[in-house]
Amino acid sequence: MDLQTAFNLVLGAAAFLGGWVLNTMWGAIKDMQKSDKDLATKVSEIQVLVAGNYLPRSEYRADIVDIHATLKRIEQKFGEKADK
């Protein structure tokens, strides 16, 4: 075996290993991109779910009316205490 044949074998083996590493990395990147898309889809579904479950305005107004009535009763009681 001469020097040129040994060099060609070493260079061929290095090219093979380099190609195998690059192919493995390419597959890993593709898998990560797919999982990233899946995760982004799930996050957007959660955002829609959370945005859809806010308190309706009618219930909010009814609660505010109850709070105002309670505050007025408390104010009246303080007013009665101050008069005594």
pLDDT tens, residue by residue, 58-68: 888 888 999 99
- Residue 82: per-residue pLDDT: 67
Question: Rounded distance, CA 17 to CA 37, Å?
Answer: 30
The pLDDT tens digits for 7-60 are 999 999 999 999 999 999 999 999 999 999 999 988 888 876 666 667 778 888
Q: How far is CA 72 from the centre of its chain?
A: 44
- Residue 52: per-residue pLDDT: 65
Question: Rounded distance, CA 3 to CA 13, Å?
Answer: 15
Give me the phi and psi of 68, to 5 degrees please: -65, -40
For the cut 70, the answer to whether the pLDDT of residue 80 exceeds it is yes
